[in-house]
Amino acid sequence: MSEPVNLAEKFATFTEHWAPRLVATYNGNDVRIVKVAGEFVWHAHADTDDFFLVLEGELDIELRDRTVTLGPGELFVVPRGVEHRPVARRGVEHRPVARRGEVRMINIEPGGTHNLGEGSPQRPVVEG
Amino acid sequence: MSEPVNLAEKFATFTEHWAPRLVATYNGNDVRIVKVAGEFVWHAHADTDDFFLVLEGELDIELRDRTVTLGPGELFVVPRGVEHRPVARRGVEHRPVARRGEVRMINIEPGGTHNLGEGSPQRPVVEG
């Protein structure tokens, strides 16, 4: 049986960037939390949409034809097959120094989605 | 192409309770926001999990053998087939009077999930 998840408590259990934690599953999809800083690599998921909900910080999701910027309380779904590159913004922020430039977010993808190709900075999903 | 969603802006566009707004889709699932107050009806979804993320207020998700309470930043997935009843708590809260006892949350279910049976207080999902 699933358990309730307190996101702040889960975020407090790790410090690594681009190292998603699995906090719940929904119909075979991983509900993950992740801390990111700097830029990811360009990639696309041929078979699945990619759900982002930013909780803290600012994230640019670069697309080939535009950039979508998400702040806290903003979500975006990258449609399947669409190339994108997430980049954490380094703006002036009223947050503790250790968290400046860091983005905390929820990401939902089908379980086992790791199709980022070689050279990906992302680490395997760990049970949170 | 999907657009970014600012949740606060979307919540500001309606006042009704138990009237979900569709704000995005993810792999055929509806990403909905909803304001609730008071109690819902007991129900179960035979074919799907039911994802809840509370953003404001406190929600009891009553199960037949226990109650899961969610505050802001807490999520829970009700497994498929499990009977549950969401009930917004009326605790002492430091919020504007108009919002006391109201819960704002994100709910994810497959598109077209309306299998709550007769007497359901829930209204159809509206494009948000």
Query: Residue B126 has which token pair?
Result: 């509206």
Contact state of A75 with B7 under an 8 Å Cβ cutoff: yes
Mean pLDDT (whole number) for A18-23? 95
> Alpha carbon A91 to chain centroid distance?
18
Sign, Cα dihedral of B92, B98, B101, B104: negative
How many beta-carbon contacts under 8 Å exist across A and B?
87
Contact state of B27 with A110 under an 8 Å Cβ cutoff: yes
- pLDDT 10s digits, A98-124: 667 899 999 999 997 664 544 455 666
Question: Are A86 and A39 spatial neighbours (Cβ–Cβ below 8 Å)?
Answer: yes
| Residue B31 domain flag | yes
| Bridge partner list, A29 | A26, A110
The CATH number assigned to the domain holding B46 equals: 2.60.120.10
| Residue B128 domain flag | no
- pLDDT 10s digits, A45-86: 999 999 999 999 999 999 999 999 999 999 999 999 999 999
Question: What is residue A43's DSSP assignment?
Answer: B
Instruction: Name the closest residue on chain B to residue A47, using Cα atoms.
Output: B27
Q: How far is B42 from chain A (nearest CA, A)?
A: 18
Nearest to A2 among B5, B31, B79 (CB): B79
* Domain residue limits at A17: 7-114
| DSSP strand pairing (A102-110 vs A29-37) | antiparallel
Number of separate domains in chain B: 1
- pLDDT 10s digits, B46-88: 999 999 999 999 999 999 999 999 999 999 999 999 999 999 9
| Residue B127 domain flag | no
Contact state of B75 with A31 under an 8 Å Cβ cutoff: yes
